[in-house]
């Protein structure tokens, strides 16, 4: 009888529960932010640097801070893939899948940082020349400008400005 209890006890003691581990990129490019591994390349679109693996964590995320810094992290909550969260200081986007928090600048959340290969900087300089020269009135010491006042016409004028000095009585 004693032998039987020992066998049952060994059977139950050897039962092991396994937990699933999850790996995400984990870093920040903000040298003043604590709690994350500093990596000046953390803000790179195709980041593939420091990782963190935790048991029973099921989401990865990216914080895009209003000051331009980026933080990549592993999250314990089960967020929806592509979920966005908006905070006063940053936008966060979350994903499900190992190492899913790269190749993104939270563009699905409407974050304005350009995504490489999809946004092109276009600089256009527009110079317009008025069809007729701009006419500006020039008057020093006068109380009013009327229809009969002769305007100053210069080809280079594109706008006129009015300045009124009120430090002396009219």
- Model pLDDT for residues 69-103, shown as the tens digit of each residue: 999 999 888 888 889 988 888 889 999 888 999 98
For residue 126, is it within any domain? no
- Phi, psi at 149, each rounded to 5°: -70, 130
38 has which bridge partners?
Answer: 28
Arithmetic mean of pLDDT, 63-68: 89
Q: How far is CA 22 from the centre of its chain?
A: 26
**Structure tokens belonging to residue 94:** 């979350």
For residue 13, is it within any domain? no
- 8 A C-beta contact, residue 53 and residue 25: no
Considering only CA atoms, which of 140, 128, 134 is closest in space to residue 164? 140
For residue 167, is it within any domain? no
Q: Which domain holds residue 73?
A: 19-109
What CA–CA distance (Å, rounded) separates 36 from 27?
5
For residue 146, is it within any domain? no
Arithmetic mean of pLDDT, 117-125: 43
Q: What residues contact 82, with CB distance under 8 A and at least 6 apart?
A: 93, 94, 95, 108
- What pLDDT, on a 0 to 100 scale, did the predictor assign at position 140? 65
Using 50, 70 and 90 to split pLDDT, how confident is the model at 162? low
82: domain CATH number is 2.10.60
For residue 150, is it within any domain? no
- What pLDDT, on a 0 to 100 scale, did the predictor assign at position 150? 73
> How many Cβ atoms are within 10 Å of 161's Cβ, its own excluded?
5
- 8 A C-beta contact, residue 23 and residue 48: no
For residue 162, is it within any domain? no
Considering only CA atoms, which of 115, 19, 98, 108 is closest in space to residue 60? 98
Number of domains composing the chain: 1
- What pLDDT, on a 0 to 100 scale, did the predictor assign at position 13? 45
């Amino acid at each position: 009888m004693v032998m039987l209890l020992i066998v049952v006890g060994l059977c139950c003691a050897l039962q092991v529960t396994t937990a699933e581990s999850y790996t995400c990129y984990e870093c920040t490019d903000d040298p003043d932010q604590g709690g994350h591994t500093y990596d000046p390349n953390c803000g790179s679109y195709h980041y593939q640097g420091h990782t963190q693996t935790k048991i029973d964590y099921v989401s990865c995320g990216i914080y895009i801070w209003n000051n331009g810094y980026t933080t990549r992290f592993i999250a314990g909550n089960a967020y929806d893939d592509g979920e966005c969260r908006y905070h006063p200081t940053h936008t966060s986007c979350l994903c499900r899948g190992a190492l899913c928090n790269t190749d993104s600048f939270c563009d699905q959340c409407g974050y304005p940082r350009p995504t490489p290969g999809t946004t092109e900087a276009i600089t256009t300089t527009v110079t317009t020349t008025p069809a007729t020269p701009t006419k500006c009135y020039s008057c020093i010491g006068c109380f009013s400008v009327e229809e009969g006042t002769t305007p100053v016409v210069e080809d280079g004028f594109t706008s006129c400005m009015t300045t009124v000095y009120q430090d002396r009585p009219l």
